[in-house]
């Protein structure tokens, strides 16, 4: 009897120690900034893959580890977030690769609810584009610590001082350069690591598939003869940087008030190892996360986790449904029974996996900060809290109001059940919003999304996973806002071209043909609720 508290204390101590080893982070960027390439190269430097940029499939094809959907491979873009879990230097990394295209911003919002840090990937030539800026503002509103990595420095682009000014003006936070490039964009020779005053001289490898050879030397005045001119420019730039004050402040970074800055080229592996080391050394471990009442939940409290993603049919051979959970407290054990805070029902987490893209391996235990894929049935949705012991709710995950709408109909009446089951599944996953008109009995479903590519994904998945051949037709709505029942009445009574749709959870969406009509309605009806986010009041 007397040994029980000792065991509990030992277990709690182990949970705390394991939480300290976790680094759970995302990479966010606009399309074509090199996000998937950087993801692959981080895996290479961590020893998680033997050849960066591709993995050999069973049929001999090569595709990015993080892009497992056939649509992603065909289009060459990421359309869904992916979890990659690996260990390096005694640290367990949970890397969440996110889609870069703006049409899939909702998936990235869900990922930001599950991470402790984020890397903003910036194209050296294009800088911060609107999509990256929008996601950055969401991350900043949540106080997520941010790192910035300027990519593609092997190509022509903004010179480093220009980039520093651009990032400071755009992100509206001070930046602290941890590394500084030697050589202009397109003639990149290496970086100065300002933390220990060393120069990392990079050499290209064939195809960038292997770790780039690098020579490390004392930074000041020991470059090779061919580096002299570039070296002199870099030293002058660093003197200017030092004059304006750019010292790294760890506490400010952890509060989300300062952004460490690094330069490199993911394609050629320049600076990737330094970035991985910075994430290991500076990114926060799993820390207490607030419940919906604002009270931080200690990591050694009983098990509690947030469902931030649900994905069906990741493995077409099994047709299963996987919930991705971020563990916020306690020790996860395969087979444990937990309660869903939303429904009050219990379920067994019998089939748990460590996830690496589409690949899975059985997982017996996990700790705060870990992301676990659990095969589930029944009513588990994005935003659910799973717990043991006293009831806990974590804050809901916000979603963006749609900006594109289509009607969708089934071409094959014999596949009626498959059609509706598929729509229900995609709605629960958050792939699209399944809507109905609030004021009539029109049976034709309406789909809402941030952009039209979401509908392409929905149509393909309905066909390949549920055997439903569908037809879609665009609707003339280009802006929507969350409203309430009273606001819906005023929207429907408005003389402008407006309408109201309702989600399955009862959320009313007022839709408008363009932003001009939306703004005009808002001016005429200042007391009507018109929110940009669904499920939260955070600004975007």
| Rounded CA separation 163/30 (Å) | 16
Hey, what are 196's tokens? 């220990």
DSSP reduced 3-state for 217: strand
Give residues with Cβ within 8 angstroms of 345, minimum separation 6. Answer: 339, 378, 379
370 is in an annotated binding site: no
Burial label, 251 (beta-carbon count in 10 A; 0-12, 13-18, 19+): exposed
DSSP reduced 3-state for 38: helix
152 is in an annotated binding site: yes
Is residue 168 within 8 A of residue 174, CB to CB? The reply is yes
539 is in an annotated binding site: no
Which residues share a beta bridge with 176? 260
101 is in an annotated binding site: yes
Burial label, 414 (beta-carbon count in 10 A; 0-12, 13-18, 19+): exposed
Length of the chain (residues): 540
352-356/404-410 β-pairing: unpaired
154 is in an annotated binding site: yes
Is residue 169 within 8 A of residue 186, CB to CB? The reply is no
32 is in an annotated binding site: yes
190-193: strand order across its sheet: 179-182, 190-193, 198-202, 214-218
| Rounded CA separation 485/498 (Å) | 15
Give residues with Cβ within 8 angstroms of 4, minimum separation 6. Answer: none
99 is in an annotated binding site: yes
20 is in an annotated binding site: no
| Rounded CA separation 329/318 (Å) | 30
153 is in an annotated binding site: yes
| Rounded CA separation 281/117 (Å) | 12
| Rounded CA separation 532/233 (Å) | 46
| Rounded CA separation 536/395 (Å) | 9
| Rounded CA separation 398/532 (Å) | 10
169 is in an annotated binding site: no
33 is in an annotated binding site: yes
Task: Please state the residue numbers annotated as binding site.
Answer: 29-36, 97-101, 151-154
Residues annotated in a binding site for GTP: 29-36, 97-101, 151-154
């Amino acid at each position: 009897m007397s040994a029980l508290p000792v065991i509990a204390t030992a277990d709690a101590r182990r949970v705390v120690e394991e939480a300290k080893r976790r680094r759970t982070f995302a990479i966010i960027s606009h399309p074509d900034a090199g996000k998937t390439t950087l993801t692959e190269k981080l895996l290479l430097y961590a020893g998680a893959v033997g050849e960066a940029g591709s993995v050999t499939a069973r049929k001999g094809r090569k595709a990015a580890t993080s892009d497992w959907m056939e649509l992603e491979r065909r289009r060459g873009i990421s359309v869904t977030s992916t979890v990659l879990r690996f260990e390096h230097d005694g640290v367990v990394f949970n890397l969440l690769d996110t889609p870069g295209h703006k049409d899939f911003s909702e998936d990235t919002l869900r990922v930001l609810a599950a991470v402790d840090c984020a890397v903003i990937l910036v194209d050296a030539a294009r800088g911060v584009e609107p999509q990256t800026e929008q996601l950055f503002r969401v991350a900043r509103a949540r106080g997520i610590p941010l790192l910035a990595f300027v990519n593609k420095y092997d190509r022509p682009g903004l010179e480093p001082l220009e980039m520093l000014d651009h990032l400071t003006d755009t992100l509206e936070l001070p930046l602290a350069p941890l590394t500084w490039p030697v050589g202009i964009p397109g003639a990149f020779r290496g970086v100065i690591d300002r933390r220990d005053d060393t120069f990392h001289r990079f050499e290209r490898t064939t195809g960038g598939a292997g770790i780039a050879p690098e020579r490390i030397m004392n930074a000041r005045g020991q470059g090779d003869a061919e580096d002299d001119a570039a070296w002199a420019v870099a030293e002058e730039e660093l003197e200017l940087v030092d004059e304006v004050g750019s010292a790294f402040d760890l506490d400010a970074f952890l509060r989300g008030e300062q952004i460490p800055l690094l330069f490199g080229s993911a394609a050629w592996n320049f600076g990737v190892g330094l970035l991985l080391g910075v994430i290991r050394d500076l990114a926060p471990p799993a820390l207490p996360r607030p419940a919906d009442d604002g009270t931080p939940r200690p990591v050694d409290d009983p098990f509690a986790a947030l469902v931030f993603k649900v994905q069906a049919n990741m493995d077409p051979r099994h047709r299963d449904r996987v919930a991705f959970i971020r563990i916020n407290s306690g020790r996860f054990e395969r087979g444990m029974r937990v309660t869903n805070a939303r429904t009050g029902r219990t379920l067994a987490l019998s089939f748990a996996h460590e996830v690496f893209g589409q690949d899975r391996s059985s997982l017996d235990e996990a700790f705060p900060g870990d992301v676990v894929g659990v095969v589930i049935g029944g009513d588990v949705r994005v935003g659910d809290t799973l717990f043991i012991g006293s009831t806990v709710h974590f804050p809901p995950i916000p979603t963006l109001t749609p900006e594109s709408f289509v009607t969708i109909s089934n071409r094959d009446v014999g596949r009626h059940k498959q059609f509706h089951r598929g729509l229900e599944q995609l709605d629960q996953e958050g792939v699209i919003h399944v809507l109905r008109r609030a004021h009539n009995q029109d049976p034709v479903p309406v789909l809402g999304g941030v952009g039209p590519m979401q509908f392409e994904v929905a149509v393909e998945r309905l066909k390949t996973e549920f055997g439903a051949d569908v037809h879609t037709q665009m609707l003339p709505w280009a802006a929507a806002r969350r409203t309430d029942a009273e606001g819906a009445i005023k929207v429907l009574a408005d003389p402008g071209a407006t309408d109201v749709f309702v989600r399955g959870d009862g959320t009313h969406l007022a839709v408008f043909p363009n932003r001009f009509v939306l703004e005009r309605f808002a001016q005429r009806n200042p007391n009507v609720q018109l929110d940009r986010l669904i499920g939260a009041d955070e600004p975007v």
